[in-house]
């Protein structure tokens, strides 16, 4: 039986946590939240398996205290959660939903009372529909709307949150939402993609600027990285993998840290970026206190015919998770080293998400092994001098896995989506044991 490395095998002060997001767990139909583009996307046949949405999800909204008790039992130092823009401001702007702010206030108080650091994400994918009507991430005005939302939320809970990141996994919002159409708003349009990707970073910059102005501490950014491996050693496949790497991994990383976009991404997106985008790059690359990397898998990339980016994903040989994602822990070790070396230097890095979809139920030995192998990668990066400061498991509990609905389970805690009962899995017990030593 695999065990997880104990807390004592990491540097003093290393932060262990778990992560969730609002739409995936709260139960969006309740508590006065406004409609979001994920509700609209899920309502179209074929977008989400079973046309499932986040209306009920894990009903975290009414089970808050019991869920926070689970975190306390687990023994984590921090909890990474997101607030829903539409729960705070149902139309994205204008009147506030007081019940929504009250909920986040209770959540933060409940964490602090249990000695758990509240790690807030401002946006984890559920854009208010009223803002989607105005063009959503394609509209430059979104930066001001996002800044106003940031201020509204932090006026209420900013005094108690430990860290803040503006936008979770920008490439999923920009690329999956506007180029591949796999996520809301489900567009497949290169001009929309380029504009959304830039405006996401502009909104990040606006939120960081507003938070710096109000003295909010410990501000970061959370990006997701996938090891881009060539499907073969043929030059065309290697070039295709480099293109994937530039648009999926480096566009946001390089924008945030160097204030430039990779040439290989500009080859396709450059002509569609908004005029004068270069003038935003100073603000976009304002210093951060930490950078969070979400890491799950690698992709095998082959050259393909057709328009830019002329690439295709092909299946790889490694054992796979229940989402068919190859298990490739070496990728995490490699990214931690290369990101620090090439982009972030001494800035602390956190692994802000890592975990696997598994169908193994309560006896999730496969998940324990996955976590153990990725924690070994974190240890190897630490041994190489990389300033890794913490590690968060995705996810505390089974939840709404976006276009895959409720069928793909990432939780340390099992959720019965009929009764909404929670039951800790073997991985929960294994992590609790490791964190107690």
294 part of the interface to ligand IFM, by CB under 6 A:
yes
Give yes or no for a contact between 257 and 285, defined as CB atoms under 8 angstroms apart.
Answer: yes
- Give 150 or 224: the residue with its C-beta nearer to ligand IFM: 224
Which residues 377-396 are close enough to bind ligand IFM by CB under 6 A? 394
Interatomic CA distance for residues 222 and 281, integer angstroms: 18
Between 107 and 146, how does the x/- string for binding to ligand IFM read (CB under 6 A)? ----------------------------------------
In the complex, the smallest distance separating the C-beta of residue 408 from ligand IFM, rounded to whole angstroms, is 8
In the complex, the smallest distance separating the C-beta of residue 310 from ligand IFM, rounded to whole angstroms, is 26
In the complex, the smallest distance separating the C-beta of residue 57 from ligand IFM, rounded to whole angstroms, is 12
Between 407 and 436, how does the x/- string for binding to ligand IFM read (CB under 6 A)? ---x--------------------------
Which residues 353-382 are close enough to bind ligand IFM by CB under 6 A? 353
Interatomic CA distance for residues 309 and 180, integer angstroms: 12
In the complex, the smallest distance separating the C-beta of residue 376 from ligand IFM, rounded to whole angstroms, is 21
- Give 35 or 183: the residue with its C-beta nearer to ligand IFM: 183
Q: How many Å is the Cα radius of gyration of the chain?
A: 20
- Give 39 or 401: the residue with its C-beta nearer to ligand IFM: 401
Query: Would you state the structure tokens that stand for residue 52, as one six-digit string?
Result: 């499932």
CA distances from 430 to 12, 362, 396 (A): 20, 12, 13
Interatomic CA distance for residues 332 and 245, integer angstroms: 14
**Rounded to the nearest 10 degrees, how much is the dihedral formed by the CA atoms of 434, 345, 278, 176?**
-20
List the one residue out of 342, 240, 343, 354 whose CA is nearest residue 293.
354
Which residues 250-269 are close enough to bind ligand IFM by CB under 6 A? none
In the complex, the smallest distance separating the C-beta of residue 192 from ligand IFM, rounded to whole angstroms, is 21
Query: Would you state the structure tokens that stand for residue 374, as one six-digit string?
Result: 């990725």
List the one residue out of 223, 273, 267 whose CA is nearest residue 248.
223
- Give 147 or 177: the residue with its C-beta nearer to ligand IFM: 177
CA distances from 123 to 208, 299, 407, 421 (A): 13, 26, 24, 27
- Give 366 or 401: the residue with its C-beta nearer to ligand IFM: 401
Q: Please pick, among 169, 206, 226, 401, the residue that the annotation labels catalytic.
A: 169
Q: Could you tell me how many residues of this chain bind ligand IFM (CB under 6 A)? A: 8
Determine which helix (DSSP H) or strand (DSSP E) holds 186, and give its type and residue range: none
- Known catalytic residue at 169: yes
Query: Would you state the structure tokens that stand for residue 73, as one six-digit string?
Result: 């039992």
In the complex, the smallest distance separating the C-beta of residue 294 from ligand IFM, rounded to whole angstroms, is 5
- Give 52 or 169: the residue with its C-beta nearer to ligand IFM: 169
DSSP string, 188-244: --HHHHHHHHHHHHHHHHHHHHHHHHTT---BEEEEEEEEEEESSSSHHHHHHHHHH
- Give 40 or 353: the residue with its C-beta nearer to ligand IFM: 353
CB atoms inside a 10 Å sphere around CB 371: 25
- Known catalytic residue at 313: no
Between 26 and 65, how does the x/- string for binding to ligand IFM read (CB under 6 A)? ----------------------------------------
Q: Please pick, among 126, 206, 353, 401, the residue that the annotation labels catalytic.
A: 353
Between 172 and 211, how does the x/- string for binding to ligand IFM read (CB under 6 A)? ----------------------------------------
Which residues 393-412 are close enough to bind ligand IFM by CB under 6 A? 394, 401, 410
- Give 247 or 303: the residue with its C-beta nearer to ligand IFM: 247
What three-state secondary structure class fits 398?
Answer: coil
Query: Would you state the structure tokens that stand for residue 122, as one six-digit string?
Result: 């401002």
In the complex, the smallest distance separating the C-beta of residue 178 from ligand IFM, rounded to whole angstroms, is 17
- Counting every residue written for the chain, the total comes to 437
In the complex, the smallest distance separating the C-beta of residue 24 from ligand IFM, rounded to whole angstroms, is 6
Q: Catalytic site residues?
A: 169, 353
Residues that bind ligand IFM (CB under 6 A): 21, 24, 169, 294, 353, 394, 401, 410
């Amino acid at each position: 039986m695999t065990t997880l490395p104990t807390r004592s095998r990491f540097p003093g002060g290393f932060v262990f946590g778990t992560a969730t997001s609002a739409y995936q767990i709260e139960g969006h139909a309740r508590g006065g939240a406004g409609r979001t583009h994920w509700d609209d996307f899920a309502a179209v046949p074929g977008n989400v398996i079973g046309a499932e949405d986040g209306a009920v999800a894990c009903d975290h909204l009414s089970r808050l205290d019991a869920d926070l008790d689970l975190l306390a039992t687990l023994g984590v130092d921090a909890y990474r959660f997101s607030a829903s823009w539409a729960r705070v401001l149902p139309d994205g702007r204008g009147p506030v939903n007081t019940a929504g702010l009250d909920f986040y206030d209770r959540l933060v108080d409940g964490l602090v009372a249990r000695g758990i650091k509240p790690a807030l994400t401002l946006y984890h994918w559920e854009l208010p529909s009223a803002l989607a009507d105005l063009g959503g991430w394609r509209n430059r005005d979104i930066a001001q709307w996002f800044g106003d939302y940031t201020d509204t939320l932090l006026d209420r809970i900013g005094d108690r949150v430990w860290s803040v990141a503006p936008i979770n996994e920008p490439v999923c919002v920009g690329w999956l939402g506007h180029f591949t159409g796999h996520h809301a708003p489900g567009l497949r349009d290169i001009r929309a993609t380029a504009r959304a990707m830039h405006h996401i970073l502009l909104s990040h910059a606006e939120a960081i600027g507003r938070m710096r102005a109000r003295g909010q501490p410990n501000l970061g950014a959370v990006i997701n990285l996938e090891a881009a491996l060539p499907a073969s050693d043929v030059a065309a496949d290697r070039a295709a993998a480099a293109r994937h790497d530039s648009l999926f991994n480096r566009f946001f990383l390089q924008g945030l840290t160097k204030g430039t976009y990779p040439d290989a991404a500009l080859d396709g997106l450059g002509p569609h970026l908004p005029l004068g985008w270069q003038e935003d790059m100073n603000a976009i690359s304002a210093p951060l206190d930490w950078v969070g990397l979400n890491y799950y898998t690698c992709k095998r990339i082959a050259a393909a015919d057709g328009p830019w980016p002329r690439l295709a994903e092909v299946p790889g040989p490694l054992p796979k998770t229940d989402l068919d994602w190859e298990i490739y822990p070496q990728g995490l070790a490699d990214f931690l080293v290369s990101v620090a070396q090439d982009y972030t230097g001494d800035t602390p890095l956190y692994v802000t998400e890592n975990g696997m979809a598994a169908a193994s139920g309560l006896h999730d030995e496969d998940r324990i092994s996955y976590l153990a192998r990725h924690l070994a990668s974190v240890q190897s990066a630490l041994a190489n001098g990389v300033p890794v400061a913490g590690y968060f498991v995705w996810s505390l509990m089974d939840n709404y896995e976006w276009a895959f609905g409720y069928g793909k389970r990432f939780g340390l805690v099992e959720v019965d989506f009929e009764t909404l009962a929670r039951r800790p899995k073997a991985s929960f017990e294994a992590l609790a044991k490791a964190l107690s030593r």
